[in-house]
Protein backbone atom coordinates (compact mmCIF):
# COMPACT_ATOMS: atom_id res chain seq x y z
CA UNK A 1 0.00 0.00 0.00
CA UNK A 2 1.43 3.38 -1.00
CA UNK A 3 0.92 7.06 -0.40
CA UNK A 4 1.61 7.93 -4.01
CA UNK A 5 3.04 6.23 -7.09
CA UNK A 6 6.18 8.39 -7.01
CA UNK A 7 6.59 8.78 -3.26
CA UNK A 8 9.42 6.22 -3.15
CA UNK A 9 11.51 8.81 -5.02
CA UNK A 10 11.16 11.34 -2.19
CA UNK A 11 14.53 12.74 -1.10
CA UNK A 12 15.55 12.87 2.56
CA UNK A 13 16.08 16.41 3.79
CA UNK A 14 18.94 17.48 6.02
CA UNK A 15 17.88 17.33 9.67
CA UNK A 16 15.28 14.68 8.82
CA UNK A 17 12.95 13.81 11.72
CA UNK A 18 11.48 10.40 12.45
CA UNK A 19 9.91 8.48 15.29
CA UNK A 20 7.10 6.35 16.63
CA UNK A 21 3.98 8.06 17.95
CA UNK A 22 1.81 5.93 20.26
CA UNK A 23 -1.84 6.96 19.93
CA UNK A 24 -3.46 5.95 23.22
CA UNK A 25 -6.74 6.48 25.00
CA UNK A 26 -9.97 4.85 26.12
CA UNK A 27 -11.97 2.82 23.61
CA UNK A 28 -13.91 4.77 20.98
CA UNK A 29 -12.19 8.15 21.33
CA UNK A 30 -11.23 8.32 17.63
CA UNK A 31 -7.72 6.87 17.42
CA UNK A 32 -8.26 4.94 14.17
CA UNK A 33 -10.31 7.77 12.65
CA UNK A 34 -7.48 10.23 13.25
CA UNK A 35 -4.79 7.98 11.79
CA UNK A 36 -6.88 7.28 8.68
CA UNK A 37 -7.38 11.05 8.30
CA UNK A 38 -3.66 11.80 8.60
CA UNK A 39 -2.83 9.15 5.99
CA UNK A 40 -5.80 10.05 3.76
CA UNK A 41 -6.34 6.33 3.37
CA UNK A 42 -8.31 3.77 5.33
CA UNK A 43 -5.93 1.31 6.95
CA UNK A 44 -7.76 0.86 10.27
CA UNK A 45 -11.39 -0.10 10.78
CA UNK A 46 -13.72 2.35 12.47
CA UNK A 47 -17.03 1.66 14.21
CA UNK A 48 -19.00 3.39 16.98
CA UNK A 49 -18.37 0.38 19.22
CA UNK A 50 -15.57 0.22 21.79
CA UNK A 51 -12.84 -2.41 21.38
CA UNK A 52 -12.88 -2.13 17.59
CA UNK A 53 -9.07 -2.05 17.46
CA UNK A 54 -7.53 -5.26 18.80
CA UNK A 55 -3.93 -5.18 17.60
CA UNK A 56 -1.23 -2.58 17.13
CA UNK A 57 -1.14 -1.32 13.57
CA UNK A 58 1.28 1.19 12.11
CA UNK A 59 0.30 4.12 9.94
CA UNK A 60 3.39 5.51 8.20
CA UNK A 61 3.39 9.13 7.04
CA UNK A 62 6.42 10.11 4.95
CA UNK A 63 7.60 13.42 3.48
CA UNK A 64 11.12 14.63 2.57
CA UNK A 65 11.34 16.28 6.01
CA UNK A 66 10.00 13.55 8.30
CA UNK A 67 8.69 10.03 8.70
CA UNK A 68 6.05 9.67 11.41
CA UNK A 69 5.09 6.13 12.42
CA UNK A 70 1.70 6.29 14.13
CA UNK A 71 0.89 3.30 16.33
CA UNK A 72 -2.86 2.66 16.48
CA UNK A 73 -3.38 0.84 19.77
CA UNK A 74 -6.33 -0.89 21.44
CA UNK A 75 -8.32 1.26 23.85
CA UNK A 76 -7.05 1.04 27.42
CA UNK A 77 -9.51 -0.76 29.71
CA UNK A 78 -9.77 -3.35 32.48
CA UNK A 79 -9.19 -6.87 31.02
CA UNK A 80 -11.95 -9.48 31.35
CA UNK A 81 -10.39 -12.40 29.44
CA UNK A 82 -7.29 -13.47 27.51
CA UNK A 83 -8.15 -11.37 24.44
CA UNK A 84 -8.47 -8.25 26.60
CA UNK A 85 -5.17 -9.11 28.31
CA UNK A 86 -3.49 -9.35 24.90
CA UNK A 87 -4.98 -6.02 23.85
CA UNK A 88 -3.80 -4.26 27.00
CA UNK A 89 -0.34 -5.77 26.74
CA UNK A 90 -0.15 -4.53 23.14
CA UNK A 91 -1.19 -1.02 24.16
CA UNK A 92 1.30 -0.83 27.04
CA UNK A 93 4.15 -2.12 24.84
CA UNK A 94 3.42 0.68 22.38
CA UNK A 95 3.49 3.32 25.11
CA UNK A 96 6.82 2.08 26.43
CA UNK A 97 8.49 2.01 23.00
CA UNK A 98 7.24 5.35 21.66
CA UNK A 99 9.20 8.51 20.89
CA UNK A 100 6.07 10.64 21.30
CA UNK A 101 2.81 9.93 23.17
CA UNK A 102 -0.53 11.21 21.89
CA UNK A 103 -3.26 10.79 24.48
CA UNK A 104 -6.66 11.09 22.83
CA UNK A 105 -9.76 11.89 24.86
CA UNK A 106 -13.41 12.58 24.03
CA UNK A 107 -13.70 16.24 25.03
CA UNK A 108 -17.46 16.22 24.49
CA UNK A 109 -17.62 14.35 27.80
CA UNK A 110 -16.01 15.10 31.15
CA UNK A 111 -13.16 12.84 32.35
CA UNK A 112 -14.17 9.49 33.79
CA UNK A 113 -12.33 6.98 36.02
CA UNK A 114 -10.67 5.41 32.96
CA UNK A 115 -9.16 8.74 31.90
CA UNK A 116 -7.73 9.26 35.37
CA UNK A 117 -6.13 5.81 35.30
CA UNK A 118 -4.58 6.48 31.88
CA UNK A 119 -3.26 9.85 33.05
CA UNK A 120 -1.51 8.13 35.96
CA UNK A 121 -0.04 5.54 33.58
CA UNK A 122 1.31 8.22 31.28
CA UNK A 123 2.69 10.25 34.15
CA UNK A 124 4.66 7.18 35.26
CA UNK A 125 6.44 6.72 31.93
CA UNK A 126 9.79 8.16 30.90
CA UNK A 127 9.51 11.93 31.55
CA UNK A 128 11.74 12.64 28.53
CA UNK A 129 9.04 11.37 26.14
CA UNK A 130 6.92 14.29 24.87
CA UNK A 131 3.21 13.91 25.64
CA UNK A 132 0.46 15.66 23.67
CA UNK A 133 -3.11 15.69 24.93
CA UNK A 134 -5.45 15.59 21.93
CA UNK A 135 -9.01 16.54 22.91
CA UNK A 136 -11.05 15.03 20.09
CA UNK A 137 -14.74 15.38 19.10
CA UNK A 138 -14.76 19.16 19.48
CA UNK A 139 -17.59 19.21 16.93
CA UNK A 140 -19.83 17.65 19.61
CA UNK A 141 -18.87 20.23 22.22
CA UNK A 142 -21.19 23.11 23.16
CA UNK A 143 -19.55 26.53 23.44
CA UNK A 144 -20.11 26.76 27.18
CA UNK A 145 -18.45 23.35 27.68
CA UNK A 146 -15.15 24.13 25.96
CA UNK A 147 -13.37 25.69 28.93
CA UNK A 148 -14.60 23.42 31.78
CA UNK A 149 -14.11 20.22 29.78
CA UNK A 150 -10.67 21.11 28.42
CA UNK A 151 -9.44 22.32 31.81
CA UNK A 152 -10.71 19.13 33.46
CA UNK A 153 -8.64 16.97 31.11
CA UNK A 154 -5.57 19.20 31.22
CA UNK A 155 -5.58 19.08 35.03
CA UNK A 156 -5.06 15.30 34.82
CA UNK A 157 -1.76 15.75 32.95
CA UNK A 158 -0.74 19.41 33.45
CA UNK A 159 2.70 19.08 31.87
CA UNK A 160 1.34 17.88 28.53
CA UNK A 161 0.92 20.13 25.53
CA UNK A 162 -2.73 20.12 24.47
CA UNK A 163 -5.10 20.93 21.64
CA UNK A 164 -8.86 20.73 21.02
CA UNK A 165 -9.75 19.33 17.59
CA UNK A 166 -12.12 17.18 15.53
CA UNK A 167 -10.76 14.14 13.71
CA UNK A 168 -13.89 13.81 11.57
CA UNK A 169 -14.53 17.49 10.71
CA UNK A 170 -10.88 18.45 10.44
CA UNK A 171 -10.93 21.52 12.73
CA UNK A 172 -7.58 21.64 14.53
CA UNK A 173 -6.34 18.46 12.87
CA UNK A 174 -3.51 20.11 10.90
CA UNK A 175 -2.23 22.02 13.96
CA UNK A 176 -2.22 18.72 15.87
CA UNK A 177 -0.19 17.11 13.10
CA UNK A 178 2.30 19.97 13.26
CA UNK A 179 2.61 19.54 17.04
CA UNK A 180 3.46 15.87 16.50
CA UNK A 181 6.01 16.71 13.81
CA UNK A 182 7.68 19.26 16.07
CA UNK A 183 7.98 16.63 18.82
CA UNK A 184 9.74 14.06 16.61
CA UNK A 185 13.48 13.57 17.17
CA UNK A 186 15.95 13.69 14.32
CA UNK A 187 16.45 10.27 12.78
CA UNK A 188 16.54 8.10 9.65
CA UNK A 189 13.73 6.84 7.47
CA UNK A 190 12.73 3.51 9.01
CA UNK A 191 10.39 2.36 6.24
CA UNK A 192 10.34 2.77 2.46
CA UNK A 193 8.74 6.08 1.51
CA UNK A 194 5.89 4.35 -0.35
CA UNK A 195 4.84 2.15 2.60
CA UNK A 196 1.87 3.39 4.66
CA UNK A 197 1.30 0.44 7.01
CA UNK A 198 3.08 -2.61 8.36
CA UNK A 199 0.28 -5.14 7.88
CA UNK A 200 -0.53 -7.31 4.89
CA UNK A 201 -3.58 -6.75 2.71
CA UNK A 202 -5.03 -10.06 3.86
CA UNK A 203 -5.02 -8.81 7.46
CA UNK A 204 -6.76 -5.57 6.50
CA UNK A 205 -9.30 -7.58 4.47
CA UNK A 206 -10.08 -9.67 7.55
CA UNK A 207 -10.49 -6.49 9.59
CA UNK A 208 -12.86 -5.00 7.02
CA UNK A 209 -15.06 -8.10 7.34
CA UNK A 210 -14.99 -7.74 11.13
CA UNK A 211 -15.85 -4.05 10.78
CA UNK A 212 -19.07 -4.94 8.99
CA UNK A 213 -19.94 -7.50 11.65
CA UNK A 214 -19.55 -4.80 14.30
CA UNK A 215 -21.59 -2.30 12.30
CA UNK A 216 -24.43 -4.65 11.38
CA UNK A 217 -24.87 -6.84 14.47
CA UNK A 218 -25.76 -5.95 18.05
CA UNK A 219 -25.11 -7.10 21.59
CA UNK A 220 -22.30 -9.51 22.40
CA UNK A 221 -21.91 -11.17 18.99
CA UNK A 222 -19.42 -8.71 17.40
CA UNK A 223 -17.08 -8.88 20.41
CA UNK A 224 -17.04 -12.68 20.25
CA UNK A 225 -16.04 -12.90 16.58
CA UNK A 226 -12.66 -13.32 14.95
CA UNK A 227 -11.97 -13.32 11.21
CA UNK A 228 -9.17 -15.23 9.53
CA UNK A 229 -8.38 -15.02 5.81
CA UNK A 230 -7.61 -18.54 4.60
CA UNK A 231 -6.92 -17.68 0.96
CA UNK A 232 -5.98 -14.45 -0.82
CA UNK A 233 -4.92 -14.70 -4.44
CA UNK A 234 -5.30 -12.98 -7.79
CA UNK A 235 -6.92 -15.11 -10.47
CA UNK A 236 -5.97 -15.07 -14.16
CA UNK A 237 -8.88 -12.74 -14.99
CA UNK A 238 -7.51 -10.15 -12.52
CA UNK A 239 -10.20 -10.74 -9.89
CA UNK A 240 -8.85 -11.12 -6.34
CA UNK A 241 -10.31 -14.15 -4.59
CA UNK A 242 -10.57 -13.99 -0.80
CA UNK A 243 -11.79 -16.89 1.30
CA UNK A 244 -12.29 -16.07 4.98
CA UNK A 245 -13.68 -17.80 8.06
CA UNK A 246 -15.61 -15.98 10.77
CA UNK A 247 -15.27 -17.64 14.17
CA UNK A 248 -17.94 -17.23 16.85
CA UNK A 249 -18.24 -18.64 20.36
CA UNK A 250 -21.77 -20.08 20.25
CA UNK A 251 -24.08 -21.94 17.87
CA UNK A 252 -26.75 -19.31 18.50
CA UNK A 253 -24.33 -16.59 17.37
CA UNK A 254 -23.58 -18.55 14.21
CA UNK A 255 -27.28 -18.72 13.34
CA UNK A 256 -27.72 -14.98 13.87
CA UNK A 257 -24.63 -14.11 11.88
CA UNK A 258 -25.72 -16.27 8.93
CA UNK A 259 -29.35 -15.11 9.10
CA UNK A 260 -32.40 -16.50 7.33
CA UNK A 261 -31.23 -18.40 4.24
CA UNK A 262 -27.81 -16.73 4.58
CA UNK A 263 -29.21 -13.19 4.22
CA UNK A 264 -27.20 -11.58 7.04
CA UNK A 265 -23.92 -13.15 5.95
CA UNK A 266 -24.54 -11.94 2.39
CA UNK A 267 -25.09 -8.39 3.62
CA UNK A 268 -21.87 -8.50 5.63
CA UNK A 269 -19.98 -9.93 2.66
CA UNK A 270 -21.36 -7.40 0.17
CA UNK A 271 -20.47 -4.41 2.33
CA UNK A 272 -17.01 -5.77 3.19
CA UNK A 273 -16.32 -6.56 -0.47
CA UNK A 274 -16.99 -2.94 -1.44
CA UNK A 275 -14.54 -1.71 1.18
CA UNK A 276 -11.89 -4.23 0.09
CA UNK A 277 -12.33 -3.31 -3.59
CA UNK A 278 -11.76 0.35 -2.73
CA UNK A 279 -8.60 -0.67 -0.89
CA UNK A 280 -7.07 -2.94 -3.56
CA UNK A 281 -8.53 -1.03 -6.55
CA UNK A 282 -9.63 -4.28 -8.18
CA UNK A 283 -12.63 -6.56 -8.44
CA UNK A 284 -12.93 -8.90 -5.45
CA UNK A 285 -14.73 -12.20 -5.00
CA UNK A 286 -15.25 -12.65 -1.26
CA UNK A 287 -16.38 -15.99 0.14
CA UNK A 288 -17.24 -16.30 3.84
CA UNK A 289 -17.77 -19.26 6.16
CA UNK A 290 -18.82 -19.29 9.81
CA UNK A 291 -17.45 -21.73 12.40
CA UNK A 292 -17.97 -22.13 16.14
CA UNK A 293 -14.89 -21.94 18.39
CA UNK A 294 -16.22 -22.07 21.99
CA UNK A 295 -14.66 -19.57 24.42
CA UNK A 296 -11.86 -18.68 21.98
CA UNK A 297 -11.29 -15.31 23.71
CA UNK A 298 -10.18 -17.21 26.81
CA UNK A 299 -8.01 -19.72 24.93
CA UNK A 300 -4.38 -18.74 24.42
CA UNK A 301 -3.84 -21.25 21.60
CA UNK A 302 -6.89 -19.97 19.72
CA UNK A 303 -5.73 -16.38 20.16
CA UNK A 304 -2.37 -17.22 18.60
CA UNK A 305 -4.09 -19.06 15.74
CA UNK A 306 -6.15 -15.95 15.01
CA UNK A 307 -3.08 -13.70 15.05
CA UNK A 308 -3.35 -12.20 18.52
CA UNK A 309 0.26 -12.74 19.53
CA UNK A 310 2.38 -10.57 21.80
CA UNK A 311 5.23 -8.63 20.19
CA UNK A 312 7.57 -9.63 23.03
Question: What band does 4 get if pLDDT is binned at 50, 70 and 90?
Answer: very low
Strand pairing report for 284-292 and 240-248: parallel
pLDDT reported for residue 125:
85
Of the pLDDT bands very low, low, confident and very high (cuts 50, 70, 90), residue 81 is low
Same domain, 41 and 104: yes
What's the pLDDT at 244?
A: 95
> Which band of pLDDT confidence, cut at 50, 70 and 90, is reported for residue 78?
low
Residue 73 has pLDDT above 80, yes or no: no
Same domain, 108 and 247: no
The reply to whether 58 and 173 lie within a common domain is: yes
Higher pLDDT, 153 or 305: 153
The Cα 48–Cα 6 span in angstroms is: 35
Residue 191 domain flag: no
Question: Which residues contact residue 39 at a Cβ distance below 8 angstroms, ignoring those fewer than 6 apart?
Answer: 3, 59, 60, 61, 70, 196
C-alpha torsion sign, points 223, 77, 41, 58: negative
Q: Are 49 and 142 members of one domain?
A: yes
Considering the domain architecture, whether residues 92 and 235 belong to the same structural domain is answered as no
CA-to-CA distance for 71 and 91, rounded, in angstroms?
9
Q: How confident is the model at residue 224 (pLDDT cuts 50, 70, 90)?
A: confident
In terms of average pLDDT, the best of 1-5, 123-127, 268-272, 299-303 is 268-272
2 pLDDT band (50/70/90 cuts)? very low
- Residue 190 maps to a domain: no
Same domain? 179 vs 132? yes
What gap in Å lies between CA 213 and CA 267, rounded to an integer? Answer: 10
Q: Where would I find the H helices in the chain?
A: 31-39, 82-97, 113-123, 146-154, 173-183, 201-216, 251-258, 263-280, 300-305
Examine residue 261 and state whether it is found in any structural domain, yes or no: yes
Domain count along the chain: 2
Q: Is the pLDDT of residue 153 over 80?
A: yes
DSSP 74: P
| Backbone φ, ψ for residue 183 (5° rounding) | -85, -15
Q: Per the domain annotation, does 312 fall within a domain?
A: no
User: Hey, is 116 helix, strand or coil?
Assistant: helix
Q: Which residues pair with 227 in a beta bridge?
A: 246
Domain membership of residue 236 as a residue range = 201-305
Amino acid sequence: MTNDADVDELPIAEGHQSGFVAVAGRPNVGKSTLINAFLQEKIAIVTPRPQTTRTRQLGILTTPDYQMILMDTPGLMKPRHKLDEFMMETAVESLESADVLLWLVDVSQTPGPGDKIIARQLAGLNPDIPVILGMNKADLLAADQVLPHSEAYHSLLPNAAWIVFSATQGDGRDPLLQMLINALPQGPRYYPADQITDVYLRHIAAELVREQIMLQLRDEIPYGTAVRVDEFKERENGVIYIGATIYVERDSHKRILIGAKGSQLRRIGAAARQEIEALVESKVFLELWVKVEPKWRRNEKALKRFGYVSQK
